[in-house]
Amino acid sequence: MTRMTIRFIFATFLFFTVLSVTTVTAAELPNIVLILADDLGYGDVGCYGAVRVQTPNIDRLAAEGIRFTDAHSVAATCTPSRFALISGIYPWRKRGTGILPGDAALIIPPESVTLPSILKKAGYTNGVVGKWHLGLGTPESPVNWNSEIKPGPLEIGFDYSFIIPATGDRVPCVFVENHSVANFDANDPITVSYKEKVGNEPTGKEHPDLLKQHPSHGHDMTIVNGISRIGYMTGGKSARWVDENIADTITAKACRFIENNKDKPFFLYFATHDIHVPRVPHPRFVGKTSMGARGDAIVEFDWSVGEVLQTLDRLKLTDNTIIIVSSDNGPVVDDGYLDRSIEMLGDHKPNGLLRGGKGSAFEAGTRVPFIVRLPDKANAGKVSDALISLIDLPASFAALTNQTKRQEIPETAIPDSENVLPALLGETNYGREYLVLGGASFSLRHGTQKVILPNPKGQAISSNTHIETGNNPNPQLYELKNDIGEQNNLAEKESTRWEELRTKLQEIRQKQVVVP
C-alpha cells in the first residue's frame, strides 16, 4: 500500500466518520505493532552484520521492509528512552525519568497526550505487553500490590496491559495484568521494598549457595527462581515468574492481543524482556549460539518476532499492519550477572562498528536496529540512512492518522516528537535535522555530525559494565560520515562548528515546553 493509498483510506475513513456513515469501518486503519527489544545492540542481529547469531525472522522483516541505519533511542538506558517514546518529550526535561526502581510511581501523568492516547483518538484499541519500567501508582498513593494497581498503562491510553512492572532483574517478579497482579493469591500477600529487607526470604548476599546465576555487581537482594534481584520482596509465590518462561508467556499474550483485536484497528506495544539481564532463555534456546546466554537470548527474541509475524500471516493481517522492530538502548555484555557472556562473546561485536554501548554518549548507546515493514511490503529491502528516533513515533503516528496539532492534538503536547512519517514510509531518506541524545553526557546529532558536551565529573569507562561512557572533560566533535567509530575528535580543529552545535544544543535544551 502506498502512502497515497494509506492517506486515501484515512481521508475516506474520516470523511465517513464525520458524516456518521458506517460504510467505511475503522477496520481499514492499518494496525501497528511495535516490538521493542531490551538492550539489543546495533550489531546484534543478522541484517545489521552479526554472523555468530542467526536471526531469520528479523532478517525476513528487513528483507520485506525498510532497514534504518541511523535510528536512535533518545537515551542510552531504558526508562528515559521509553518515557520519550510514549510521551514525545525529551526525558531530561523532567526530573525523575532515570532508571526507576520497581516500586516507583508512574512518571507520565494520567490523561496526558501519549503515543497510545493519540492512536486511541483515531479509533485504535491499544495493548502493551512486556516490560513497562515507567512506574505505577502515584507518589501520594504508592502501589499496593495486593489491591488495584493504578494509575498505570490503562490510565495513559492503553486498553489492555500485561506487564513486567520494571525489569526482569528488579522486584516484584510478577506480571501485572490490567489493574492486578496475575495469578495473585490473597493468602500470600506481596510486599516490596527497595530500602530494607522485607519478610524472611533469603537474599543473594546472605545465601550465594542458593543461586543458579550469581551477580557480578549489585543484584544481591531477594532470590527468585534461583536468581537474586535488585530490591526485596516477599509473598506472591504463585504469581512469580519463572525466567525461563517469560518469553513464552509474554509472546503468547502479545499474539492473543492481536487475535482478540483482529477485526478492529489495533496498536500493540510488545516490549520484550530479552535480551536484558538476567538472561535465562528457555531450555530449547540454550546452546543455539556459541555465545552463551546473551547470544541465546537474541535467538529467543528472534523467535518472539517470528511468532508475531506468523500470527499476522495466519490472521491475514500482514497486508494491513505496520510492524516496527527496534531496541530501547544499546548493548551491554556484563550488566550485573555472571552469565559467561563476556567469556563466550568471541569475535561477536554487539555494537557493530560503533563505539560505546548501553549508558554511553557514543553512538552505540542510542543507535539501535530499527526495521519497519509496511502493509503490502512497500519498499521491501530498502535501506534508509534517515536520522530518526523512537521519540518521533507519537508525531509520526499522529500524521499517519491525519491528526494535526491545534486541531486534534493540543499545541503543547508531544513537544520533542517530530513527524518523520515520510521516512518511515520510505518516501525520503531524510528524517530530522537535530536530535539530542542523553547518555551519561549530552550530545547532539546534526546530519552526520555529532557533538558531546564536556563532562568533567563522569567516569570515562563504567566500572560496572566496562563500557566507554563518552564522558570527557573536553569538548568532542565527530564527523560520522568517515568516522563511524568516533575516533577522531575534531572539536579543537573545528572550533567554530563545535561552538555552533553546542549553541544549538543549548537552545533546544532551553526551549520552553509544557511538561505534564
Parallel, antiparallel, or unpaired for β 266-271 and 321-327?
Answer: unpaired
466 binds, among Ca ion, ligand NG6, none (CB under 5 to 8 A by kind): none
Closer CB to ligand NG6, 38 or 416, in the complex: 38
97 near Ca ion, rule: CB under 5 A: no
Select the span of 11-19, 59-67, 104-112, 324-332 touching Ca ion (CB under 5 A).
324-332
Q: Residue 307 has which C-alpha cell?
A: 511468532
364 binds, among ligand NG6, Ca ion, none (CB under 5 to 8 A by kind): none
91 binds, among Ca ion, ligand NG6, none (CB under 5 to 8 A by kind): none
User: CB of 84: closest distance to Ca ion in angstroms?
Assistant: 13
Residues 45-84 that bind Ca ion (CB under 5 A): 78
Closer CB to Ca ion, 401 or 465, in the complex: 465
Closer CB to Ca ion, 132 or 145, in the complex: 132
333 near Ca ion, rule: CB under 5 A: no
CA distance 513 to 511: 6
Q: Residue 150 has which C-alpha cell?
A: 493504578
> Half-sphere exposure (CA, 13 Å, Cβ side) for 473?
2
Closer CB to ligand NG6, 221 or 387, in the complex: 221
Residues 389-428 that bind Ca ion (CB under 5 A): none
Closer CB to Ca ion, 157 or 331, in the complex: 331
Closer CB to Ca ion, 161 or 327, in the complex: 327
Compute the radius of gyration of the chain from its Cα atoms: 22
User: CB of 365: closest distance to Ca ion in angstroms?
Assistant: 11
3 state DSSP class of 315:
coil
User: CB of 504: closest distance to ligand NG6 in angstroms?
Assistant: 28
CA distance 3 to 30: 12
Q: Residue 346 has which C-alpha cell?
A: 568471541
Closer CB to ligand NG6, 167 or 304, in the complex: 167
Select the span of 37-45, 109-117, 300-308, 488-496 touching Ca ion (CB under 5 A).
37-45
Which residues make Cβ contacts (< 8 Å) with residue 151, sequence separation at least 6?
106, 110, 136, 137, 138
Closer CB to ligand NG6, 195 or 481, in the complex: 195
Closer CB to ligand NG6, 100 or 118, in the complex: 100
3 state DSSP class of 371:
strand
302 near Ca ion, rule: CB under 5 A: no
36 near Ca ion, rule: CB under 5 A: no
Run of H or E including 233: strand 232-234
User: CB of 250: closest distance to ligand NG6 in angstroms?
Assistant: 16
44 near Ca ion, rule: CB under 5 A: no
> Considering only CA atoms, which of 164, 418, 359 is closest in space to residue 269?
164
> At which residue does the C-alpha cell 510478577 appear?
174
Closer CB to ligand NG6, 349 or 358, in the complex: 358
169 near Ca ion, rule: CB under 5 A: no
User: CB of 136: closest distance to ligand NG6 in angstroms?
Assistant: 15
329 near Ca ion, rule: CB under 5 A: yes
- Binding site residues, ligand NG6, CB under 6 A: 38-39, 77-78, 99, 133, 167, 169, 217-219, 230, 276-277, 329, 335-336, 464
The b/e string for 461-487 (b: 16+ C-beta within 10 A; e otherwise) is ebeebebbbbbbeebbbbbbeeebbbe
274 binds, among ligand NG6, Ca ion, none (CB under 5 to 8 A by kind): none
328 near Ca ion, rule: CB under 5 A: yes
Maximum C-alpha span of the chain: 69
User: CB of 339: closest distance to ligand NG6 in angstroms?
Assistant: 12
Residue nearest to Ca ion (CB): 78
> Half-sphere exposure (CA, 13 Å, Cβ side) for 352?
25
Binding Ca ion by CB under 5 A: which of 1, 29, 39, 371? 39
Closer CB to ligand NG6, 463 or 487, in the complex: 463
Run of H or E including 422: helix 421-424
462 binds, among Ca ion, ligand NG6, none (CB under 5 to 8 A by kind): none
What's the CA angle centered on 446, arms 440 and 452, to 5 degrees? 25
Do 386 and 423 form a contact (C-beta atoms < 8 A)? Answer: yes
CA distance 492 to 404: 43
Do 363 and 481 form a contact (C-beta atoms < 8 A)? Answer: no
User: CB of 335: closest distance to ligand NG6 in angstroms?
Assistant: 4
User: CB of 513: closest distance to ligand NG6 in angstroms?
Assistant: 24
Run of H or E including 266: strand 266-271
38 near Ca ion, rule: CB under 5 A: yes
Q: Residue 469 has which C-alpha cell?
A: 561512557
Closer CB to ligand NG6, 76 or 477, in the complex: 76
**What angle do the packed helices 293-314 and 56-64 form, to 10 degrees?**
50
217 binds, among Ca ion, ligand NG6, none (CB under 5 to 8 A by kind): ligand NG6
Run of H or E including 180: strand 180-181
449 near Ca ion, rule: CB under 5 A: no
Torsion on CA atoms 377, 380, 384, 387, rounded to nearest 10: 10
Q: How far is CA 480 from the centre of its chain?
A: 24
Q: Provide the binding-site residues for Ca ion, judged by CB under 5 A.
A: 38-39, 78, 328-329
